[in-house]
Amino acid sequence: MSNHVAVILIALGGPQSLRDVGPFMTAFMGRPAPPVIVSAVVNRYKLIGGKSPLPELVKAQAKALEKVLGSDFRIYEGFRYSHPTIAESFKKAINDGATHVIGVSLSPYQTSVTTGAYQSAFEPLGDNTTKKTFIVSWHDNHFFIDAWRERVQEGLNGLRNAQPKDAAVIFTSHSIPLRCITSGDPYQQQIEETVRLVINGLNVKHWNIAWQSKGVRTTEPWLEPAVESTLFKIRQDGYTAVLEVPIGFTCDHLEILYDIDIVHRMYAQKLGLQFARTPSLNTSATFINALADIVKKSL
């Protein structure tokens, strides 16, 4: 199909088998990954099915988005650290006859750590005749907010026999080095704004924002409080149930299926808390409408 608008949904990527973990870690770290780290990550992937679900989920998101946008658009997935790469998908879009290529970061929040890395890989592609657009952030898109409201309500409904006064909600996102925030990244501010927009209109009285998946070997300060310390405080404050909402992510991957579903769940249960997590956005119809809306607004 020629003369179409191409959209590349851009994400980190992930290993599609246990054999891919080492190469993925090397690409992500920018240097050969130490065997001890690879082994630890392999063990985590074994616990969630032996691979990352993210590549296939992004492919499904692309298919759903193409259906919503119609025949004038063609949607691709492109990954920063696995295949197909952003460059590979860009080249395919041009070869397929795209007249305009739009890059959409599947992280709605602007930061040099994620969207900055995606943008730096996207911007040099093509030549002077290639029309291209990179969408940096869309954290306040009303369809995106609605999609999370749906998920939060679904999660609250899933807390067995828990009364509102007994349940607390934790909105979680990936922690990043504090120096990114002090140097001007709007990441934390945008997440806080998204949470406020989601809360508005929901019957959620007790909620917190916490940060997860901090680098294990880092020695510098990262965004806090951590999820674990927030869970402890929730229990100390007398709550008996907690709903975790991974609002910083738009797709299932290791940080959700391992860090939240295994590590955070075990810690919460150890504290005596009933624990639930909202389903991820993945291919939620409302979320796909959010992606369609931001693409249309970029034209």
Tell me which fold the domain 4-139+284-298 belongs to: Rossmann fold (3.40.50)
Domain 4-139+284-298 and domain 142-277, same fold? Reply is yes
Question: Does the pLDDT value for residue 12 go beyond 90?
Answer: yes
Residue pair 9/62 in contact by the 8 Å Cβ criterion: yes
Between CA 256 and CA 263 the distance in angstroms is 10
Query: Token pair of 221, please?
Result: 């300060």
Between CA 277 and CA 62 the distance in angstroms is 25
Beta-bridge partner residues of 74: 6
Nearest one of 68, 84, 152, 79 to 117, comparing CA atoms: 79
Q: Is the peptide bond before 84 cis (omega within 30 degrees of 0)?
A: yes
Question: DSSP character for 32?
Answer: P
- pTM (global) more than 0.75: yes
Nearest one of 160, 186, 188, 163 to 173, comparing CA atoms: 188
Q: Are strands 4-11 and 73-79 parallel, antiparallel or unpaired?
A: parallel
Tens-place pLDDT, residues 139-184:
999 999 999 999 999 999 888 777 777 899 999 999 999 999 999 9
Question: Does the pLDDT value for residue 112 go beyond 90?
Answer: yes
Give pLDDT, residue 219: 85
**Under CATH, to which class is 142-277 assigned?**
alpha beta
Residue pair 278/243 in contact by the 8 Å Cβ criterion: yes
Residues in the chain: 299
Residue pair 52/45 in contact by the 8 Å Cβ criterion: yes
Intra-chain end-to-end CA distance of the chain, in Å: 19
- Fill in the amino acid letter for 46: K
H helix runs in the chain, sequence order:
21-29, 35-47, 54-69, 86-95, 115-122, 142-157, 178-182, 187-199, 227-236, 254, 265-270, 285-298
* Residue 1 banded pLDDT, cuts 50, 70, 90: low
Beta-bridge partner residues of 133: 102
Triad 32, 38, 40: Cα angle to 5°: 150
Question: What are the extents of the domains in the chain?
Answer: 4-139+284-298, 142-277
Tens-place pLDDT, residues 70-101:
999 999 999 999 999 999 999 999 999 999 99
In the block, which residue shows the tokens 């009364």?
Answer: 163
